[in-house]
Structure 1
Amino acid sequence: MSATPTPGDRAPAGRLERRKRQTRQRLFTAALELFAAQGFDATTYDEIAQRADVARQTAFNYFPRKEDFVRAWVEHRRERLRQLLDETAFQEAPAAEQLAGYLSALAGFNAEERHLRATLAVTLPVSMDMMFGEGPPEVFAASIRLGQRNGEFGTEVDPEVAAEVIFDSYLCALGRWARQDTPASPSLEETLLAKLTVILRGLTP
């Protein structure tokens, strides 16, 4: 007859998953900090692992390529946009206000991580390829379809195409913002909302 396992013999599944999430977050944070301090290309897996206090192989297990840290960064922002859409007050807002809210949120994410701007400029081709490859966040097209149902936008416009136009405009503005170094330049949010105003004129019936 086998002995009954004691509580310390094996960690519960929930605890293991929590440890995995914590390890992944430590690696992600360590990588972004190093990218900001010394650049994307100059940062090695050994440095990331050391800063996160894990083995080098552990870093590879969670992020097999350095570009995967950038991909996680992109997906983190998309998830924050999805969370914004889930807020009841936001769901009840007019479609144009929703689109402005998305762009303001994206601008806010970048402002929060302003210390990464130099790194973003260097890794922009990598992050742009990922964002272009995955296409615009689905919330953009969802808001445009809402606007069409509510009569805010004309129905002759393809919501997916309009979402791409807005998202492409965001990426171009982001690229310029990441490379600018003059404090007098317009904020990213101001630029994005000005561009959205022009785009919305083409959507309004």
Structure 2
Amino acid sequence: MARWEPGARERLVMAAVDLFTDQGYDATTVAQIAERAGVTKSTFFRYFPDKRELLSAGQETLSRLLTEGITEAPDEAGPLDALAAGLERACATMGPANREFGPRLTAAIAASTELQEREALKTVGLAAAISQALLGRGVPGPAAQLAAELGVLAFKQGYARWLEDDQESAESLTPYALAALNDLRAAVKTLD
């Protein structure tokens, strides 16, 4: 097996999603994932403690980029403008490879209750990270929590629209997430 080849982590994630989609999450073993990725089981465990963690691989990076963008937004930016800066920072890193991979990931999650539960936990963690970043900017608790939930919703809606768009110009997630945030801003204004 080609343990020395670069990209083992990414190959493991791709192999897992393919196997989860083809034969189901429960029927897929770590050994099968490692074999499909062209690595050993010990290499798998160097990157992930178990197969559940595979689909959380980008969560830390996404949270970090979102919070960096929020933290580094101009001082005069309100909560939703700071959130937009965070979305822009995080989404700018997602390109054609993410878009190509997205439908398979979505299908794998939809086919497994356990993966759906993991996805829900990721969402909670993402909202908590956004809320903490906004609290760090001095945004009051309820406003920070509401903005965080809007941010997660904007990311999810933007991501779904991005995957559905069949135009070749849809290379970056950024415009989709920002458009979703703008739609949510407009919807919030109608609640009064």
Say whether the fold is shared (TM-score over 0.5). yes
Q: Distance in 2 between matches of 1:124 and 1:102?
A: 25
Higher-Rg member (1/2): 1
Distance 1:98 1:161, change over 3 A: closer
Alpha-carbon deviation of 1:70?
0.9
| Per-residue Cα deviation, 1:44-66 (whole angstroms, up to 9, x for no partner) | 53354346665324424642432
Give the alignment's Cα RMSD to 1 decimal.
3.9
Counterpart selection for 2:93 from 100, 104, 109: 109
Q: Distance in 1 between matches of 2:19 and 2:61?
A: 20
SS of residue paired to 1:165: helix
Listed as ranges, the matches of 1:1-205 within 5 Å are 26-35=7-16, 38=18, 40-42=20-22, 45-50=30-35, 54-60=39-45, 62-84=47-69, 90=73, 92=75, 94-95=77-78, 96-112=80-96, 113-125=98-110, 126=115, 128-140=119-131, 142-143=133-134, 146=137, 148=139, 158-178=143-163, 180=164, 182-183=166-167, 188-200=173-185, 202=188
Alpha-carbon deviation of 1:74?
1.7
SS of residue paired to 2:137: helix
Structure 1 counterpart of 2:106, one-letter code: A
| Per-residue Cα deviation, 1:71-106 (whole angstroms, up to 9, x for no partner) | 12222221233444565xx45462444321222233
Structure 2 counterpart of 1:41, one-letter code: T
Distance 1:129 1:27, change over 3 A: farther
Name structure 2 gaps, 5 residues minimum. 23-27
Q: How many residues align?
A: 171
Q: Distance in 2 between matches of 1:58 and 1:157?
A: 44
Q: Distance in 1 between matches of 2:69 and 2:146?
A: 22
Alpha-carbon deviation of 1:172?
3.1
Q: Distance in 2 between matches of 1:99 and 1:138?
A: 11
Structure 1 counterpart of 2:21, one-letter code: D
Q: Distance in 1 between matches of 2:134 and 2:36?
A: 41
Q: Distance in 1 between matches of 2:69 and 2:121?
A: 22
